[in-house]
Structure 1
Amino acid sequence: MTALGTRRPPDAAMVRRPARVRLLWLLVLVLTLALIMLASVAFGSRTVPFSDVLAALGGAEDTLEQAAVTKRIPRTVLALVIGAALGLAGAVMQGVTRNPLADPGILGVNMGASLAVVTAVAYFGLTSPTGYVWVAMAGAAVSAVFVYTVGSLGRGGATPLKLALAGAATSAAFASLVTAVVLPRNDIAGSFRLWQIGGVGGASFERIGHVLPFLAVGCAICLLSARTLNSLALGDELAAGLGERVALARATAAVGAVVLCGAATAVAGPIGFVGLVVPHACRLLTGVDHRWLLPFSALAGAALLTAADVVGRVVARPAEVDVGIVTALIGAPFFIHIVRRQKVRAL
């Protein structure tokens, strides 16, 4: 019998959090998000005083500072919705696969969506904003199925490491194919080279309006899958014993995540690591109950991506660093840390 003094402490993510603690953290997260939103409209190549921010939010555009705030509002809204979508999709993917390394970027889902959009534009003349979203979702779905199939081959099935390796290889291959498609086409190379990195620059309420219905549907599917994901976390056999139709439940939740990834990639490009970092951080605050984890991941994803966009605008004034680069700088060390942790086999 293990001595009390040498007993391994429970994982922080596995400890059940009281409801009042979760509500407190939710309030902190909402207030943090509000401050980040305020920073997003105040900081950039031109710093805007608080008085001008309030005036611009009230509809005034009398000064350059107030006009700058007005232009930053759609960018802030886009960063919020894309960050929420990627954070929520990452939490669902980790729940569906029971894989702590699951992330739309790491598993190749975002790059599959990018390849589909670039191919459709270059060879089929795709111009419709709504068409972008449908094509991106199709590419994301095909890529997700392909990576999961490859990662499931061999002994042990779809282990986290095998899925991560399959996703990394697929992402690298798809990135090369995107470059091969874009380079000969000078008419689209300039715009797609920036889009390929991932960013929220050039946002407008019109662009947001095209993608918002798809994000709303994907978000609803994911949130409604919370109880099912809790059952799947117990293992397939026990979930089936509790009355869950395991294959259907897993497929439904995965569809919601794919819709979110495809829609987000269509409008902002392949932004990585948000779906990896956010769910792990939120588990420390909420535990593993997906009824709490999924809304927290959406809010934290919105906060992370918006903050990354602010950092990208501030560190390289008057130019800017695309948000996809900033999230990669944040997420890559975190990914290495997760891989190096002992006993990282499943959630």
Structure 2
Amino acid sequence: MNHPSPQSGTPHQALKTPMSSAIKHASQSAKLITLIFVLMLVCTISLFVGAKSISPSVVIDVLLAKADSTESLIIVESRLPRTLLGLLVGAALAVAGGLIQSITRNPLADPGILGVNAGASFFVLAGIVLLGNQSMTEHLWLAFFGAMLTSVFVYFVGTYKEARVNPLKITLAGVAIGALLAGVSSSITLMNPVAFDEMRFWDAGSLDIRDLSLASMAVLPILAGIIAALMIAPALDNLALGEEIAQGLGTPVKLVQLSALFAIALLCGSATAIAGPIGFIGLMIPHIARRLSGPNQLWLTLYAIVLGPLLIISADIVGRVIAANEIRVSIVTAFVGAPVLIYLARQVTSFGKL
């Protein structure tokens, strides 16, 4: 009498794994769709709520192009641009944070800690001082190149004489380079009144750009960075198993890491150029997304695309309504992000990992 081999199993066992995978996929899709609806609700609230009280009927008339008044200027030139900008910047910083934490395998890494934002800011400042750049288009390109060069430099310093990525060395290199660039930038702005005046508003981090054309310039580079992040997500899952295993699975490790750095530079450079440096989004959102997605980098990235705008637009709404003169979104995110950073640091200290 022949007995079935252990590998063959029963038909029910053979269907168990695909069925479990389908159920998990449906669950992830349902959670993502729910978050998208919540984001749409927050975006709607962002159009209706602000420092100045405007009747909902007036807001609807303005959005339908049926009204032309002082209120329409507030809605069309302030609330609508900052809502759209929140969608772009939130997604860019959240996805960049997920990429940085993935390639460095450091749960405390984000664009600010690794000096990427400082690099983007420094190059914008250098353009103002040396080239007299004033246009947002020039700021965008300078911020992109600054973020790119800083990312590559931090990566090579962190991997110098190392056979593989050293998360501790990359983090220390990023903190040191970021502090150096921030110190030099502060010295330049203090000695140059023109640069100080130009950077004073931009360097604080705000969504209040009052110009949709500025946001439109960042759409393509941010979309390119997000698409790149989605494309390399399966390879990053392999890298999470270790570089040797990833290479055994056919993953081009160095190419994937450099592709991630390029995507990070696109995302951080563009976001920083149009909104200034906004901290903690890239730190907090990947952890929230990871709790929903598990270890799958593709789902983590998809959640980050939604959760980043959800957090930053909510923070912007809070900043508008709790103070008469409005509190900039970077300050609100810092109030939320600082306790989260302390909590994450304690988790790492206590358990060695999150």
TM-score by length of 2: 0.86
In the alignment, the residues of structure 1 paired with residue 123 and residue 218 of structure 2 have an alpha-carbon distance, to the nearest angstrom, of: 17
Partner of 1:18: 24
Gaps of 5+ in 1: 1-15
Stretch deviating more after TM superposition (184-193 or 81-90): 184-193
DSSP 3-state at the match of 1:113: helix
The CA deviation at 1:188 is 3.4
Contact 1:198 1:271 in 2 (8 A): yes
Report if aligned partners of 1:152, 1:159 keep a CA contact under 8 Å in 2.
yes
- Residues 219 and 326 (structure 1), Cα distance of their counterparts in 2 relative to 1, 3 Å cut: same
Distance 1:62 1:133 in 2: 32
Q: Kindly tell me the number of residue pairs found equivalent between the two proteins.
A: 330
The residue that corresponds to 1:175 in the other structure is: 182
Give the alignment partner of residue 57 of structure 2, picking from 42, 51, 60: 51
Partner of 1:13: none
Which whole-Å CA distance do the structure 2 matches of 1:196 and 1:62 have between them?
33
1:307-346 equivalences in 2 (<5 Å): 307-317=314-324, 319-341=325-347, 342-345=350-353
1:86 aligned partner, one-letter code:
L
What does residue 117 of structure 2 align with? Answer: 110
Match of 2:266 in 1: 259
Deviation of 1:235 (Å):
1.0
Counterpart secondary structure, 1:183: helix
User: Greater Rg, structure 1 or structure 2?
Assistant: 2
Q: How does 1:156-175 map to 2 (within 5 A)?
A: 160-175=167-182
RCO higher in structure (CA 8 A, sep ≥6): 1
1:90 paired residue number: 97
* 2:282 matches 1:275: yes
Counterpart amino acid of 1:39? I
Matched AA of 1:283: R
* Aligned residue type for 1:311: V
Q: Work out the percentage of aligned pairs sharing the same amino acid.
A: 38
State the match for 1:214 in structure 2: 221
The RMSD of aligned alpha carbons is 2.2
**Matches of 2:49 and 2:180, distance apart in 1:** 37
Give SS of 1:75's match: helix
CA distance, structure 2, for counterparts of residue 193 and residue 344 of structure 1 = 39
2:125, 2:213 → 1: CA distance?
21
Amino acid at match of 1:343: F
Q: Is the 1:48–1:69 contact (alpha carbons within 8 Å) kept by the matching residues of 2?
A: no
> Aligned pair 1:134/2:141, yes or no?
yes
Measure, in 2, the Cα distance between the counterparts of 1:297 and 1:251: 21
**Out of 39, 48, 51, which is 2:45 matched to?**
39
Structure 2: how far apart are the matches of 1:329 and 1:46? 24
- The alpha carbon displacement at 1:344 in A equals 3.7
- Give the match's secondary structure for 2:250: coil
Asked whether the 8 Å contact 1:61–1:70 carries over to 2, the reply is: no
What corresponds to 2:9 in structure 1?
A: none
Partner letter of residue 25 of structure 1? Answer: K
Question: Distance in 2 between the 1:158 and 1:241 partners?
Answer: 17
Shift of residue 146, structure 1, vs aligned partner = 3.3
Relative distance call for 1:235 and 1:203 in structure 2 (3 A) is farther
Instruction: Return closer, same or farther for 1:247/1:158 CA change in 2, 3 Å cut-off.
Output: closer
Alignment match, 1:144: 151
Q: Contact (CA 8 Å) 1:106, 1:272: kept in 2 or not?
A: no
Give distance in 2, aligned partners of 1:324 and 1:153. Answer: 34
1:203-258 Cα offsets, whole Å, 9 max, x none, are 31111122222112212211111111111111111111111111111111221111
- Between stretches 275-284 and 70-79, larger displacement belongs to 70-79
Q: TM-score if structure 1 supplies the norm length?
A: 0.88
What's the CA shift string for 1:90-113, capped at 9, x where partnerless? 111111222211211111101111
- Give the Cα–Cα distance (whole angstroms) in 2 for the partners of residues 231 and 159 of structure 1: 17
Stretches of structure 2 that go unaligned for 5 or more consecutive residues are 1-20
Structure 2 residue corresponding to 1:229, chosen from 230, 236, 240? 236
